[in-house]
Amino acid sequence: MHDKSSGDKWSFLMLSLYGCDLTAECCGSVSSALQSSNSPLTELDMSNNNLQDSGVKLISDGLKSPNCKLKTLRLSVCDLTAECCGSVSSALQSSNSPLTELDMSENDLQDSGVKLISDGLKSPNCKLEILRLPHCKVTEEGYCCLASAVKSNPSHIRELDLSNNHPGNEGKKLLSDLLKDQHCRLEKLSL
């Protein structure tokens, strides 16, 4: 995208690195770019790369920078586990993080990872509106944690995708009830 306001320089508002055979080693550079005051990047898709937990920890550091402008981050199919979710949670809790959309689909996050992400959602600093976690091996326990997080901080999350997981009856009920809650912004729920 050409940005006329910056003369003849090119600036990228959206960058897709989908399926580029990237590994955790490149994530330090991505983190540095996110922290740069010159970076206009607002959307980043790094899906279908072998970033692993160590790579996402580096990216999460970049999200905490006061210079970071990233609103959308896609990390589906990146060989992630619950281990990276503490860093993601910390970024969500940062007053500097502008992130409004996060996709971590098709990763092995399980309930323990979703619990950590839920902690981030509870923060008054969290600006996340859209969270996608399909195919992440989440069970009723994780669903209950998410329901509690959304209920405790109802002003932001408006779309939640947990399709192709294992919610159990209680998990389905708790999240479905949030759609009826007048204080909750949740508009779209995929179970």
Place of tokens 């947990």: 162
Q: Is the dihedral of CA 190, 78, 20, 8 positive or negative?
A: positive
DSSP annotation of 25? G
What is the DSSP track for 65-112?
A: STT----EEE--SS--BGGGHHHHHHHHH-TT----EEE--SSB-HHH
pLDDT-derived band at 86 (thresholds 50, 70, 90) equals very high
Q: Give the residues across from 81 on adjacent strands.
A: 108
155-180 tens-digit pLDDT: 799 999 999 999 999 999 999 999 99
Three-state DSSP class for residue 148: helix
**Domain residue spans in the chain?**
11-190
Instruction: Report the C-alpha dihedral over residues 70, 160, 137, 118, rounded to 10 degrees.
Output: 70
Residue 97 reports pLDDT greater than 70: yes
- Mean pLDDT over 65-77 rounds to 97
Query: Residue 121 has what pLDDT?
Result: 97
In CATH, 11-190 is 3.80.10.10: yes
Query: Residue 8 has what pLDDT?
Result: 45
Query: Residue 155 has what pLDDT?
Result: 76
